[in-house]
A and B are shown apart, each in its own frame.
Chain A
Amino acid sequence: MFVEAGHFALALALGLSLIQTIVPFWGARTNDPVLMSVGRTTGLAVFGCIAFAFLALTVAYVTSDFSVVNVVENSHSAKPLIYKLSGVWGNHEGSMLLWILILALFGAVVALARNSIPLKLQANTLAVQGAITIAFLLFILLTSNPFTRIIPAPAEGQDLNPLLQDPGLAIHPPLLYIGYVGFSISFAFAIAALIDGRIDAVWARIVRPWTLGAWAFLTLGIAMGSYWAYYELGWGGWWFWDPVENASLMPWLAGTALLHSTVVMEKRDALKVWTILLAILTFSLSLLGTFLVRSGVLTSVHSFAVDPERGTFILGILILFIGGSLALFAWRAPLLKQGGLFAPVSREGALVVNNLFLATACATVLIGTLYPLALEVVTGEKISVGAPFFNFTFLPLIVPLLLLLPLGQTLAWKRGNFLGTAQRLYAVLGLSLLATMAMFAIAHGGPVAAPLGIGLGVYLVLGSLNEIVTRSWSRGAPLAVAWRKAAGLPRSTWGAVLAHAGVGLTVIGIAATAWGVEGLATVKIGDRIKAGDYEARLERVVPRIEANYREDVAVFTIFRQGHELGSLESMKRLYVTRGMPTTEAGIMTVGLGQVYVSLGEVQADGSVGVRIYYKPLVLLIWIGALVMALGGGVSLTDRRLRIGAPARAKMAPGAPVPAE
């Protein structure tokens, strides 16, 4: 009964979204405040309905209601509670429901932002948001209904894909979706501005926190996904340039560009048309990501089932929204007042360079991801575009961007002075060179990429912190004064500094992977296997039985240069219901590095294939991402975002526009 109520709530949400799309839009056309404010109530009601539907499905999972097909296919009564809860979105239908729940949540938050958004902009934004909700509700109701019943109900379910039975499933999809779907708000604001035909610095200030929030969550989501793949898949890699990963990286790159272009728009009232285009592209790439992952054109752990009908439907949504919004852009953008041009050497000039590099890098990832699909459709030839392609195209575009980053951050607005800026970075440059040389000395003769990359990372971290130092400390001033000044700097400055330093930390982590060492051997109990300074000794292999799987646990003692560090456990599991084996790597964290032990098959004579890795500084990759997201969060608490945007000044028609 509750399940049917959930299904009904989804249908009701569809009806309400229709109202949310049509009525406020009409109100904005006719300047009717009553019709415009309908968007607020319906926005909240749509969220309420979808939340109820989500709750209904969750209850079906928790109570193991095997009369629901979705629960039968993806759950099992013996599954631990956390996987019953997170299993709600560990399948196609449920994950789409989560997607739309977050979409509606964002709509509701926009609807609640009563005073900080001008009514007309809010009405148009909610109308666009409603249109997206309609499309995806139709998708769920027509092709991916999670509430379908099965008669007679089987006694037991088929369990969740074992790779997904991990705490990562509870965290990674919600974070990623908040990021993906959060960009729908920037998109909706952009479309609203195009419909309205006006856009200004106030618009930029309203949109910025939404973009910032979505970006921070997407950063966390990607980092979490990367760490999950790293420890779960047992290959020791943290990024594979897999199309599914690229699908999340592309909106991140475009979103990062958007974040920077809104700064220019807010501060200098320039780059308006470009910012609108970026907002459209960022969400389009999020939709493309959803299409790639959900349609079954790619085979991966993310594509739960291949169903051509669904693929066609999402492709339709994709064409409608991307095509429609770009057509609207082509039609309306020329009407928007252009911002001025500005000096190439200035903060805004540097931000344009940032946008160019990010957008181009994003384009190369897009080409590399779509080319194999296009080629297969056209010629039937199957190719794989893997890490070598992306390393060759993406890195040469990102490294110059990173080299320029501290310079751009130090440049003044309007008219910068290149030499003066470089002077302020002398100390940073010197220290980074020193760090690079020290790394060369330590490594003596290892791969060249590692010390250079670490030097770059150190340069980024110091270059970011340099901004705080130069803005708060002057020669001879007491430290207490400098401290007070630093604490008094705007939160957005601290946010930018943290985010950029986070990039530096990630770069250090990535560069240090070049120093990683590994060993491979078949070992018997008591044997040792070596990777660089680290050794693992196989102590014993013991069987263990849990509720829904049984496993062989190999216990290793880890040594560094002969000194015992402790022990770790690597597992080979067999999930009984699906008859599917998985490998759980044993990981020991030593400082910022990790010892990673992965098992092969346990052979008849008790010997076992073992691969051991030592990965120095590997944790910095994800710590850097956390710091980036933290920077986004700190920036969100900035005073000018807290106190809300100022009201729009009424400008008389035909009033002179101040020149740049």
Chain B
Amino acid sequence: MTRKQRRLTLIGFAGGILAIALGLVLYAMNDTIVFFNSPADIQAKNVQPGTRLRLGGLVKEGSVQRGGDQRITFEVMDAQSAIQVHYKGLLPDLFREGQGIVAEGVLESATVFRADSVLAKHDENYMPREVADTLKKQGHWQGEANAAPKTQ
């Protein structure tokens, strides 16, 4: 092999791998990415049922209902609207009524959401950032003070 051929082999190979990687990334960007929405976003954007998304908001007071075998129904709301969420599984430790959560799953209809995972805060001081941002945008943010019932 001449020097030139060796160089071309190397460049060709590197280009090939990069092209494959680029293709994979672009395809995955279209297909695997999940958008974050608040209940109001879902109404405003008219999100189609069957869409996979992350839903964030506050758990409505008094809305949590427990069925058999860890089936749970609750409502996630923001300042403008609310969506009913169905979930089967263990809830995170910091799941409480009135607190911010993020649920990932599929929108079943304009007002019903089936979650396959529910995330709450990592500790008592912080809200999920997306939820906090949404509340701020809607003018309902009251600071960290109301985010956690402190026992002190």
Contact A360 to B17, CB < 8 A, known contacts A384-B34, A522-B68: yes
Q: Is the CB of B89 within 8 A of A579?
A: no
Query: Of the candidates B24, B104, B123, which one forms a contact with A392 in the assembled complex, judged by CB atoms under 8 Å apart?
Result: B24
Q: Are B18 and A580 in contact (CB under 8 A)?
A: no
User: Is B25 close to A, CB under 8 A?
Assistant: yes
Q: How many residues of chain B have a CB within 8 Å of chain A?
A: 48
Q: Mark B78-102, 1 if CB is under 8 A from A, else 0.
A: 0000000000111101100000000
**Chain A, Cβ-Cβ closest to B148:** A579
Separation of A264 and B33 alpha carbons in the complex (Å): 39
- How many chain A residues touch B (CB < 8 A): the figure is 54
Contact B150 A579 (CB under 8 A): yes
Is B28 close to A, CB under 8 A?
yes
Contact: B24 with A393, CB < 8 Å? yes
Roughly how many angstroms separate A582 CA and B130 CA in the complex, as a whole number? 23
Known: A341-B7, A522-B69. A393 touches B89 (CB 8 A): no
Bound state CA distance, A344 and B1, in angstroms?
Answer: 9
**CB distance B29 to A371 under 8 Å?**
yes
In the bound complex, residues from chain A placing their C-beta under 8 Å from that of B129 are 299
Q: Do the beta carbons of B24 and A383 come within 8 Å of each other?
A: no
Q: How far is the CB of A359 from chain B (nearest CB, A)?
A: 9
CB of A161 within 8 A of CB of B93, answer no
- With A353-B13, A609-B70 already in contact, the answer to whether A580 and B89 are too (CB < 8 A) is no
Residues of chain A in range 154-170 having any CB-CB distance to chain B below 8 Å: 158, 161-163
Answer whether A341 and B123 are a contact pair too, CB < 8 Å, given A576-B151, A579-B149. Answer: no
In the complex, whether A5 has a CB less than 8 A from a CB of chain B is: no
Q: Quick one: which of A293-320 are within 8 Å of B by CB? A: 299-301, 306
Nearest CB of chain B from residue A378's CB, rounded to whole Å: 14
Task: Assess whether B28 is in contact with A392, with CB atoms less than 8 Å apart.
Answer: yes
Chain B, residues 1-39, CB within 8 Å of chain A (1/0): the string is 101001101100110011011001101110111111000
Q: Which residues of B contact A (CB under 8 A)?
A: 1, 3, 6-7, 9-10, 13-14, 17-18, 20-21, 24-25, 27-29, 31-36, 54, 66, 68-70, 88-91, 93-94, 104, 122-124, 126, 128-130, 133, 148-152
Given contacts A299-B128, A520-B70, 13 further A-B contacts (CB under 8 A): A364-B21, A368-B25, A382-B36, A384-B35, A384-B36, A389-B28, A392-B31, A393-B28, A396-B24, A520-B69, A579-B150, A581-B94, A601-B91
25 A-B Cβ contacts within 8 A? Answer: A161-B122, A163-B123, A234-B90, A234-B93, A301-B123, A344-B9, A356-B13, A361-B21, A364-B24, A364-B25, A367-B25, A371-B29, A381-B35, A383-B33, A383-B34, A384-B104, A386-B34, A388-B28, A392-B27, A397-B17, A520-B90, A521-B70, A578-B124, A579-B149, A611-B89
